[in-house]
């Protein structure tokens, strides 16, 4: 049932990357439980604007859980308390009247803060840039059906490919590790025959880039898998490990 609730927000405010930030408290009143979390922030921002204050900066775009732009840590949970849900798809009906909600940005050395809840996730692009692709030029591809791929393998690849690059795995990892993100891409491409020729190079290059960008090390805490809005499995991390060891110790790639 739709109802209206009042909540208190404690939001991390930080004017820029090198400025000291801190929590500010806001009251959101008369919030319909049908609203999404971001719509609730919209309401708060409208009020802040009307009051002549600086609205809360936060990233968002598609608002249907696929672009990966949104994300914040809500009461200690990446994208909030619901499983398999991005922040934009989280609805206020999961909160109660009188709740206090603490909103923090993704925290990781590799994701410096731009402003308030907005972080710079270009490190993810850097990881993909290191090798998250198949080197094929437009125009030279053989017929799409020339290589059959077992349905189960295609499905596993799709499971990994569902990653939206939001960064929740890094935010949720106690070590701020990017292994789930990296593992998902390495897995997707290592599973498919088209990706196999470059698998060794890719595994080495992407892992090295990930390390260079100061992400933490995976200690198999499984928080990433639990918080991933697309519920990507840590099996992909195991596959990354396998691919990396193969590449490092037995492949001919230097």
Partner 1 sequence: MNWLTNTIGASVGKKLMMAITGLGFCCFLTIHLAGNLTIYGGKDFFNSYVDHLHSLGPLVTLAELGLLFFATLHILTGTLLFYQNFKARPIRYSVNKRAGGRTLGSATMPYTGFILLLFVIFHLLNLHFVDKTNTTTFQLLSSSFANPVYIFIYTFAVIIAAIHVSHGLWSAFQTLGVDHPKYTPFIRGLSIVFSVAIGIGFGFIPIYISLLI
Partner 2 sequence: MQLDAKIPSGPLAEKWDKHRFELKLVNPANKRKYNIIVVGTGLAGGSAAASLAELGYYVKNFCIQDSPRRAHSIAAQGGINAAKNYQNDGDSIWRLFYDTIKGGDFRAREANVYRLAQVSNNIIDHCVAQGIPFAREYGGLLANRSFGGAQVSRTFYARGQTGQQLLLGAYSSLMRQVAAGQVTMFPRREMLDIVVINGQARGIVVRNLITGEIESHAADAVVLCTGGYANVFYLSTNAMASNVSATFRAYKKGAFFANPCYTQIHPTCIPVHGTYQSKLTLMSESLRNDGRVWVPKIPGDKRPPNQIPESERDYYLEEKYPSFGNLVPRDVASRNAKAQCDMGKGVEETGFAVYLDFADAIKRDGKEVIEQKYGNLFQMYEKITASNPYEEPMVIFPASHYVMGGLWVDYNLMSNLDGLFVMGEANFSDHGANRLGASALMQGLADGYFVIPYTIGGYLAGTDRPEITTDHPAFKEATHYVTERTRKLLSINGKRTVDDIHRQLGQILWEYCGMSRNDEGLLKARKLIQELREEFWKNAMVPGSSEDFNQSLERAGRVADFLEFAELLVIDAFERKESCGGHFNEAYQTEEHEARRDDENFCHVAAWEYKGDDKDPELYKESLVFENVTLTQRSYK
**Among positions 8, 10, 128, 241, the unique one binding partner 2 when judged by CB under 8 A:** 128
Handedness of CA 155, 157, 160, 164 (dihedral sign): negative
Which residue, 33, 24, 28, is CA-closest to 8? 28
Q: Smallest distance from the beta carbon of 34 to partner 1, in angstroms?
A: 25
Q: Which of residues 210-239 bind partner 2 (CB under 8 A)?
A: none
**Among positions 12, 37, 68, 182, the unique one binding partner 2 when judged by CB under 8 A:** 68
Which residue, 29, 27, 113, 109, is CA-closest to 72? 113
β-strand pairing of 73-74 with 77-78:
antiparallel
Nearer to partner 1, 65 or 183 (CB): 183
Q: Smallest distance from the beta carbon of 220 to partner 2, in angstroms?
A: 26
> What SS3 class is residue 54?
coil
**Among positions 77, 79, 91, 239, the unique one binding partner 2 when judged by CB under 8 A:** 91
Residue 191: CB atoms within 10 A of its CB come to 25
CB 31 within 8 A of CB 48: no
- Which of partner 2, partner 1, none interacts with 53 (beta carbon under 5 to 8 A by kind)? partner 2
Q: Which stretch binds partner 2 (CB under 8 A): 39-47, 102-110, 170-178, 244-252?
A: 39-47
Q: Smallest distance from the beta carbon of 10 to partner 1, in angstroms?
A: 8
CB 174 within 8 A of CB 223: yes
Q: Smallest distance from the beta carbon of 111 to partner 2, in angstroms?
A: 11
For position 188 contacting partner 2 by CB under 8 A, the verdict is: yes
The contacts of residue 54 (CB under 8 Å, 6+ apart) are 48
Q: Which stretch binds partner 2 (CB under 8 A): 168-176, 189-197, 236-244, 245-253?
A: 189-197
- Which of partner 2, partner 1, none interacts with 135 (beta carbon under 5 to 8 A by kind)? partner 2
Quote the CA–CA distance of 227 and 232 in Å, as a whole number: 9
Quote the CA–CA distance of 36 and 26 in Å, as a whole number: 17
| Site residues, partner 1 (CB under 8 A) | 23, 73, 75-78, 102, 104, 107-110, 172, 174-177, 179, 204, 207-208, 210-211, 214-227, 234-235, 237-245, 248-249, 254
**Among positions 21, 66, 175, 241, the unique one binding partner 2 when judged by CB under 8 A:** 66
**Among positions 164, 169, 228, 234, the unique one binding partner 2 when judged by CB under 8 A:** 164
Nearer to partner 1, 10 or 93 (CB): 10
Q: What are phi and psi for residue 250, nearest 5 degrees? A: -120, -10
Quote the CA–CA distance of 216 and 227 in Å, as a whole number: 17
Quote the CA–CA distance of 22 and 149 in Å, as a whole number: 52
């Amino acid at each position: 049932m739709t109802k209206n609730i009042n909540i208190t927000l404690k939001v991390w405010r930080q004017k820029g990357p090198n400025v000291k930030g801190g929590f500010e408290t806001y009251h959101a009143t008369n919030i319909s439980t049908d609203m999404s979390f971001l719509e609730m922030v919209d309401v708060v921002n409208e009020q802040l604007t009307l009051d002549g204050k600086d609205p809360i900066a936060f990233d968002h775009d598609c608002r249907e859980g696929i672009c990966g732009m949104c994300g914040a840590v809500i009461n200690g949970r990446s994208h909030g308390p619901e499983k398999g849900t991005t922040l934009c798809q989280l609805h206020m009906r999961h909160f109660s009247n009188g709740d206090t909600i603490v909103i923090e940005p993704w925290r990781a050395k590799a994701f410096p803060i731009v402003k308030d809840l907005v972080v710079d996730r270009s490190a993810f692009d850097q990881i993909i840039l290191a090798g998250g692709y198949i080197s094929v030029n437009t125009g030279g591809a053989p017929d799409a059906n020339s290589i059959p791929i077992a349905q189960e393998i295609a499905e596993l690849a799709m499971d990994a490919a569902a990653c939206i690059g939001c960064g929740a795995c890094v935010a949720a990892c106690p070590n701020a590790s990017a292994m789930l993100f990296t593992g998902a891409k390495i897995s997707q491409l290592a599973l498919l025959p088209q990706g196999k020729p470059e698998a060794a190079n890719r595994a080495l290059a992407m892992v090295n880039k990930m390390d260079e960008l100061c992400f933490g090390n995976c200690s198999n805490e499984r928080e990433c898998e639990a918080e991933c809005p697309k519920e990507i499995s840590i099996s992909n991390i195991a596959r990354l490990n396998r691919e990396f060891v193969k590449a490092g110790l037995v492949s001919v790639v230097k």
